[in-house]
Amino acid sequence: MGFLSLSRIVKFSLQNFFRNIWLSIVTITIIVLTLFSVSSLVFVNAIMNEAITLVESKVDVSVYFKPTATENQIAAVQGSLEALPYVKQVKHVTKSEALAKLREQYKDSPLILESLKELDNNPLGDTLIVNTFETTDYQKVIDILNATPQFALLIDNQSFDDNSYIIDKLQKISSQITNIGWGITIFFGLISLLVIVNTIRIAIYTHRDEIGIMKLVGASNQFVRGPFLGEAILYACTGSFITFVLAYTVATFSDPYVIGLLGQVDFTLLGYLNQNILYIFGGELLGIVVISMIATALALRRYLKV
């Protein structure tokens, strides 16, 4: 196909687009609803994943040692825990650091502070704070500590901040939202398919006389079909661009609420979009172009007799 033929196809595609402007607006609106449902699903999943990560970061096992435990003994326990493949990190909080935190925690309670001053020695022991890669591995850490006699003699107490219920709840909510989101997306996708088929059908009917003249003067089937395919691509590109602008607008205005929900974390919807712009909007554009081309092919096969 030469440049002249291609330019004429583009020209006829634009003419078809603007000649049935209200039908074009309806078609683009359905496409935007389809794509924005996908973008919304991406937004919600990103926020839920960040919330789950945030809760998981607050899960740990705190190992409290007896005041008599020596630095070498504590270091031996720490080394053994760090050697475990499922342990992410082990933080050592000394007894002096623990006492300083206790004083800071009760700085507004004069009675407790006065009681601490009366003590001759620091009554607190050292603490190891253990984080694992998976929340299911915390029980393994506790089991190892309890099953090792030389460790059990040094340890005064253990506490496990178990937020697994909250994590499971968030994961279930995220899964349900994903299922609902995909259901809405598929629904609008099917509607888009039907609307584009109907739009192309009307365009074929509107241009039936012109198509007849084209065939009389020897126009190829490819040239006759080209404007309708171009029109479908124009719908897809316009809908994708509007969705792109809409998604960025929603992300910009939603970020203060997202930050308020998650707290001071290194996450914003705008930043997430910027990092994944090619995957999100490139995938949406590719998907809607494929749907548009399939719909147009169905309409041309059914209604265009060339």
Neighbours of 279 (CB within 10 A): 10
Contact between 39 and 284 (Cβ < 8 Å): yes
The C-alpha atoms of residue 78 and residue 87 are separated, in whole angstroms, by: 11
Confidence of residue 56 (pLDDT cuts 50, 70, 90): confident
* Ranges of CATH 3.30.70.3040 domains, the chain: 60-162
Helices (H), the chain: 3-19, 21-57, 71-82, 95-105, 110-118, 138-147, 149-152, 164-206, 208-216, 221-262, 269-275, 277-303
Residues ≥6 apart with Cβ < 8 Å to 30: 188, 191, 192, 195
In the chain, % of residues over pLDDT 90: 10
Q: Residue 69: pLDDT above 80?
A: yes
For residue 160, the SS3 value is: strand
- Positive/negative CA dihedral, 266, 270, 272, 275: negative
Q: Indicate yes or no: pTM above 0.75.
A: no
pLDDT in tens, 203-259: 777 766 666 676 666 666 676 777 888 888 888 999 999 999 999 999 999 888 888
Higher-confidence residue of 233 and 168: namely 233
Q: Residue 3: pLDDT above 70?
A: no
Check residue 8 and give its pLDDT.
73
Could you give the C-alpha distances from 50 to 170, 205, 272, in angstroms and in order? 11, 51, 11
Contact between 232 and 296 (Cβ < 8 Å): yes
Neighbours of 58 (CB within 10 A): 10
CATH number for the domain formed by residue range(s) 60-162: 3.30.70.3040
Q: Which of 66-75, 155-164, 222-231 has the highest mean pLDDT?
A: 66-75
* Crossing angle (nearest 10°) for helices 208-216 and 164-206: 60
Mean of per-residue pLDDT scores for the chain: 81
Check residue 4 and give its pLDDT.
62
Q: Which of 173-177, 274-278, 296-300 has the highest mean pLDDT?
A: 274-278
Q: Which of 297, 304, 306 is nearest to 197 (CA)?
A: 297
